[in-house]
Structure 1
Amino acid sequence: MTTTIVTVGGRMAAEGLAMLERAGIECISTEPYPTKPEVLALIDKHQPAALVVRLVELVDRDMLAASRKLKIVAKHGVGTNDIDVAAAKALGIPVIMATGANAHSVAEHALGLILALTKDFLRQDGHIRNGLWDKKLYAGSELRGRKLGLVGFGLIGQILARMVAPIGMQVSAYDPFAPEEAFSGGVTRATSLDTLLAECDVVSLHCPLTDGTRNLIGAREIALMKPTAYFINTARGEVVDEPALVAALQAGRIAGAGLDSFAEEPPVASPLWQLPNVLLTPHVAGVTEDARRAVSIMTATNVLAFLRGEPLARNLHARV
């Protein structure tokens, strides 16, 4: 009997699909952001042994229970806020992630946002498109000698720290769970989140979304930041109190923000869209073609290994 895998939220990259198909796996996928009835109908029809989760609002208990054959759920990337992990645990279904496969892509994206904001690219591009050529309006600055604060110091944060070192930035990181050996190459460990926010010229989020990090950055925390500081989020939108961030940006309490993730995705009309000191991208930091291939290959490798009873390359079960 053929083993089936359903990808919820768009197809995997060709390289990952080819690995599965060579192993005799039938691969079926929905379109990005499918409705719950669409997902339930597909799962009920095909009874997959595995679900691969890409672009979807939530894989909930009903979806997890819809296949009697479901053995594993694999996140095509990292972060499991779009999976009901508690329900999966109750049903005895492990949840795994492609940890690290797109870390370099996300770190590069964060650096790109930092550079674009500090070099005033967005405003300068707008001036020229509107027929204005006036160098006196340039408000760019150097990153050399400035301090980058990383909230979360896992693989992405560590890669970004290495990237900015040749520029001449100082780096401080706050992560109560990071081991001491992670702090090398001149990176200092912040004694508290408040201290990091108050001292840094750029604050970049790289922590997962958990009960402990939801709304971690609110009005009080933003008020601690320098008025000249930039705020970068390539993590999860829910880590930030978005209305508080909007209010701070509107009032000029911080200089600007580069945002790749939002409290609601896809976002509805937001005041963020109207702010000239905000640079927005649609949660694409980790989905370059290179990263998508790497994530798909790791996901396919781990799903196949699990179904065969073999060790996983990245055996990270999501925690409840």
Structure 2
Amino acid sequence: MSTHEIIITRPLPGDPAGRLRQAGFTRLWINPADERLSPEQFREVVNSAHGVRAIITTPVDRVDGPLLDAAGGGLVIVSNYAVGVDNIDLAECQRRSVIVGHTPDAVTEPTADIAWLLLLGAARRAWEGVDLIRTAGRTDGTAWKGVAPCELNGTRVLGKTLFIVGAGRIGLATARRALGWNMRILYHARSRHAEFEASPVNAQRVTLEEGLQLADFVSLHTPLTNETRHLINAQRLALMKPEAILINTARGAVVDEAALVEALRTRTIAAAGLDVYEHEPKVHPGLLALPNVFLLPHLGSATREDREWMMRLAVDNAVAALRGKPVPHRVA
């Protein structure tokens, strides 16, 4: 009978096993394949561990009542390798006195970088440009013919209005990057955030509807909750300027993807830049078919340095909980 004290659902950057062993924890199970576990596989792994005390999860691992049943009463912590915890039933964990940890600081700066990569790429039609340059050398008449005055003219960024939806760490980091483009910054949050309104950001707090109507660029940074699911729907997309661009590095389901496809198809808005999708890893076929959307495969935190930092945070959360010490980055 195998006994694993700690389960890691997928290989992580760096050396999580070494870090755990150095802390005195040696009974580990780490998924040998770099593939997501199905819900059935996840429950089977947890059930067969016979006494699991900590599970280090990724955002695709659903932690719900049946999974917690499989883990048994000895589970102390679910340490999520992500800042978002919408894959975890927090109420059920709280009911069972299971701690939930996450990795907030490590994802902030790289995700803000990706938001700006998407913003610039969508504004300057980089997606279409890559497709065009790859035609160079064709002999069927479709090859790129060199620079042309009317070809792939995009949108100027300098001096425009950026609307940040969600006033957390990533939203603030994204707003700070706008200073180099001399942008007017608006933000929407449930309460005032002094760090947004203070110099040098000098952002103005507005309602969601006001911001959507005023902005040239809308960047989403809100967590996924019951209240924010489909926050950006057909009605709110219709409030945006025809030349506006929507950026999403938050969670895919914050946007009604079908409504977004229609808004892009009809040019209700000019373009979008997306790093997250409503039904990952599936992507709406309409998005794949449209030229005016810049798509990335959920790269938000994907730098070597930051992904290893996330590993250290996730491991350290688990170690602290198992030692009965305060968890550095605790959600619930």
Question: TM-score over 0.5 for the alignment?
Answer: yes
Alpha-carbon distance in 1 for matches of 2:180, 2:101: 35
| 8 A contact 1:153–1:175 mirrored in 2 | yes
Q: What residue in structure 2 maps to residue 159 of structure 1? A: 173
Residue 320 of structure 2, aligned match among 288, 293, 305: 305
Q: Which residue of 2 aligns with 1:33?
A: 36
> How large is the RMSD of aligned CA atoms in angstroms?
1.8
Alpha-carbon displacement from aligned partner over 1:225-263 (angstroms, at most 9, x marks no partner): 011111000001111111111110000111110111111
Distance (whole Å) between structure 1 residues aligned to residue 36 and residue 3 of structure 2: 27
How many residue pairs get aligned? The number is 316
Match of 2:182 among 154, 168, 171: 168
Aligned to 1:62: 66
CA contact (8 A) 2:187 2:206 kept: no
Deviates more, 1:11-20 or 1:274-283: 11-20
1:147/1:172 contact within 8 Å kept = yes
- Percent of aligned positions with the same letter in both sequences? 32
Runs of 4+ deviating beyond 6 Å = none
1:202 aligns with 2:217: yes
Say whether the 8 Å CA contact 2:101–2:327 is kept in structure 1: no
Deviation at 1:224, TM superposition (A): 0.7
Residue in 1 that maps onto 2:140: none
Q: Is there any run of 5+ residues in structure 2 with no aligned partner, and where?
A: 136-142
Question: In 2, distance between residues paired with 1:112 and 1:264?
Answer: 22
Aligned mates of 2:284, 2:185 — CA distance in 1: 35
For the 8 Å contact 1:154–1:178, the answer to whether it is kept is no
Partner of 2:109: 104
Range 227-236 or range 262-271, more displaced? 262-271
> Does 1:230 find its partner at 2:245?
yes
Question: Which of the two has higher C-alpha Rg?
Answer: 2
Distance 1:180 1:199 in 2: 21
Map 1:236-247 to 2 at 5 A. 236-247=251-262
Counterpart-to-counterpart distance in 2, 1:274 and 1:17? 42
1: CA distance between counterparts of 2:203 and 2:232?
21
Q: Deviations over 1:65-104 (max 9, x none)?
A: 2123211111111111111222212222121111222111
Do the aligned partners of residues 218 and 268 (structure 1) sit closer, same or farther apart at CA in structure 2, a change above 3 Å counting?
closer
Q: Say if 2:101 and 2:331, in contact at 8 Å, map to a contact too.
A: yes
Contact 2:63–2:88 (8 Å) recurs in 1? yes
Name the SS of the counterpart of 2:106 in structure 1: coil
1:146 aligns with 2:160: yes
1:44 aligns with 2:47: yes
After TM superposition, the score normalised by the length of structure 2 is: 0.90
Offset at 1:268? 5.0
User: Residues 110, 267 of structure 1: CA spacing in aligned structure 2 closer, same or farther, 3 A cutoff?
Assistant: same
Consecutive unaligned residues of structure 1, counting only runs of 5 or more, are none
Cα deviation 1:262-318 (Å, max 9, x = unaligned): 11011155211000001111212123222211111111112111111222322332x
Alignment of structure 1 residues 253-268 onto 2, 5 Å: 253-267=268-282
Contact 2:218–2:245 under 8 Å retained in 1: yes
